[in-house]
A = this chain, B = another copy of it.
Amino acid sequence: MNEGRRVIQHALSIVLISIALGLSAAQPAVSQRAQPGQGDPLPSWNDGEAKRGIIDFVTRVTREGGPDFTPVADRIATFDNDGTLWVEKPLPVEVYFTLARVRELAAKDPSLKERQPFKAALEGDAAYFHEAGAKAVLELILATHSGMTQEQFAAEARQFMEKARHPKLNRPFTEITYQPMIELLAYLRRNGFQTWLCSGGTIDFMRAFAPQIYSVPVEQIIGSELKLESRMEGDRLVIWRLPEIDAINDKMGKPVGIDRRIGKRPVFVAGNVLSGGDIAMMRYSKGRAGPSFQLLINHDDAAREFAYAEKDNASLKAAKKYGFTVANIKSDWKTVFGAGQAAAAK
């Protein structure tokens, strides 16, 4: 097993082990519709270093003839998803999807209720996952995400996103996006940037909601990948999802994912504090020949969202060492949640 796979299996195991541990829940956030100010491109951001830094940077790279002018073709922005664009606590949304899929599978095949690791997932048996470890977690992910066509998986993911609600915030998963980040995506696009997702979550799960909630097209999503193959179903060629991991888009895997899809170092990168997962992507951006900007979201607001930190403080240390800009939710975000695009579309 290679290093990348080991890393993700470890990460996934941590995530799933925590299913039944009952992480401390924050208060539901207050829904507040942002009032765009006069010409303020980021009305949900408080005036501060982060907001000023972003606006100054975008102004510089779009000023024709200026020393930092960056052609539109190079205005690539990559955004982590979980914890950067939407809530990842108590668990990332894809974990809830995985558990919902386990329940679906068990409804069709009741024998799963007695078979591990399904039994443990259905019963929230954390002790089992502590003991069985990464292999059991991977088995769950692969069993719930493979063995069907891309079109079938997309339908499964869409159905989940249409119905499921966040267990703590009392709103649909389509409305747990951060209003300040939605404004930032739109601001960058208005300034000629391509706004890509670059997440550890699987690409096909994100495709089911990113166009709707972020206005990011399906072809601008980078994520972890299952192995796929072309198959004939009768006379129709379909793409079949195999029970095997093909790419892990986390940590040192993120720059590889970006190179493969975009072929350019990003000018603007946003990630968050949780596991150091975005440091490599930020350093990759820093390494470009021209100007670049790295934004690190720090979750320090237990009242309005969730407060969490890294044990080793790796991301904040890297921010200091390499010059990433930190946005602290508590002080930098005037509003955390907006009405959401999904709500607005109703």
Chain A residues near B (Cβ < 8 Å): 73, 150, 194, 203-204, 207, 211, 217-219, 221, 225, 228-230, 236-239, 252-256, 259-264, 280, 283-284, 286-287
Considering the complex, give the chain B residue whose CB is closest to the CB of A233.
B287
- Other-chain contact of A259, B221, B228, B253, B280 (Cβ < 8 Å): B228
Residue of A207, A228, A230, A239 most packed against chain B (CB within 10 A): A230
Kindly list chain B residues whose C-beta atoms are within 8 Å of the C-beta of A260.
203, 225, 228
Considering the complex, give the chain B residue whose CB is closest to the CB of A236.
B287
Determine if B256 and A229 form an interchain contact, defined as CB atoms under 8 angstroms apart. Answer: yes
Determine if B256 and A228 form an interchain contact, defined as CB atoms under 8 angstroms apart. Answer: yes
Q: CA A211 – CA B71 in complex, angstroms?
A: 14
- Other-chain contact of A261, B211, B230, B259, B261 (Cβ < 8 Å): B261
Q: CA A228 – CA B217 in complex, angstroms?
A: 25
Chain B nearest CB, measured from A8 CB (Å): 15
- Other-chain contact of A256, B203, B230, B255 (Cβ < 8 Å): B230
Determine if B237 and A280 form an interchain contact, defined as CB atoms under 8 angstroms apart. Answer: yes
13 A–B pairs (Cβ distance < 8 Å), ordered by A = A73-B217, A203-B263, A218-B262, A218-B263, A219-B261, A219-B262, A219-B264, A225-B260, A228-B256, A229-B252, A230-B253, A237-B284, A239-B259
Q: CA A255 – CA B262 in complex, angstroms?
A: 19
Chain B nearest CB, measured from A337 CB (Å): 27
Determine if B239 and A256 form an interchain contact, defined as CB atoms under 8 angstroms apart. Answer: yes
Q: CA A343 – CA B13 in complex, angstroms?
A: 57
Determine if A150 and B228 form an interchain contact, defined as CB atoms under 8 angstroms apart. Answer: no
Determine if A230 and B150 form an interchain contact, defined as CB atoms under 8 angstroms apart. Answer: no
Determine if B218 and A237 form an interchain contact, defined as CB atoms under 8 angstroms apart. Answer: no
Chain B nearest CB, measured from A157 CB (Å): 12
Kindly list chain B residues whose C-beta atoms are within 8 Å of the C-beta of A230.
252-256, 280, 284
Determine if B239 and A255 form an interchain contact, defined as CB atoms under 8 angstroms apart. Answer: yes
Chain B nearest CB, measured from A138 CB (Å): 21
Chain B nearest CB, measured from A18 CB (Å): 28
Considering the complex, give the chain B residue whose CB is closest to the CB of A221.
B263
Kindly list chain B residues whose C-beta atoms are within 8 Å of the C-beta of A287.
236-238
Q: CA A38 – CA B207 in complex, angstroms?
A: 42
Determine if B225 and A237 form an interchain contact, defined as CB atoms under 8 angstroms apart. Answer: no
Determine if A150 and B252 form an interchain contact, defined as CB atoms under 8 angstroms apart. Answer: no
Q: CA A204 – CA B264 in complex, angstroms?
A: 11
Determine if A283 and B219 form an interchain contact, defined as CB atoms under 8 angstroms apart. Answer: no
- Other-chain contact of A237, B217, B221, B283 (Cβ < 8 Å): B283
Kindly list chain B residues whose C-beta atoms are within 8 Å of the C-beta of A217.
73
